[in-house]
Amino acid sequence: MSEDSLHPSSLDRLDRRILSALQANGRISNQELAQTVHLSPAQSNRRHRRLEEAGYIQRYEARLDAHRLGLGVTAFVHVSMERGQHKEVLKFQRTVGKMPEVLECYAVTGDFDYVCKIVARDLKGLSDFLLGTLAQLPGVSGVRSSICLNELKCTSALPLD
């Protein structure tokens, strides 16, 4: 793919409809996708593959129910790092990327350096993870958490219009 084909402005209405349909149902068959976006199956498949190859579609995954799996606590954790510890920051980033409890982690501006979305079985499990694992990582100077009381919206679907 050329660099121009990776630019969002190169997406036409049909490409956006395909992406929207795939966000709603990643397991949709090519036949169903073609019907949904009003294309022939061959055209639908060609566009779908082009969108994958261009990197618009990163991966397909199943969205699991954390509560049914016994992960009853979700927390948003703000992490502060010691200043001037570049090696420790890189190590923190690599380590957090491997922790299954950390669903998302972002480097942010403001009073904290990172915000992480974490799941745990219960409050004790969260406490053990925060105090015994996350706060003990080299370079971490502080950890503050907010426990999610009620999930109002949780999606990975991006606005395409």
Give the domain extent around 75: 67-148
State how far the alpha carbon of 88 is from the alpha carbons of 45, 56, 58, 83, 113, in Å.
45, 32, 29, 10, 13
Beta strands in 4-138 (DSSP E): 73-81, 102-107, 114-120
| Number of domains into which the chain is organized | 2
Do residues 39 and 105 share a domain? Answer: no
CATH of the domain at 123: 3.30.70.920
Is 41 contained in some domain?
yes
Consecutive H or E run containing 32:
helix 30-37
Is 4 contained in some domain?
no
Find tokens 């397991």 and name the residue: 27
Over its length of 161 residues, how does the chain's per-residue pLDDT go in tens digits? 444 455 667 899 999 999 999 999 999 999 999 999 999 999 999 999 999 999 999 999 999 999 999 999 999 999 999 988 788 899 999 999 999 999 999 999 999 999 999 999 999 999 999 999 999 999 999 999 999 999 999 999 999 98
Find tokens 């219960």 and name the residue: 122
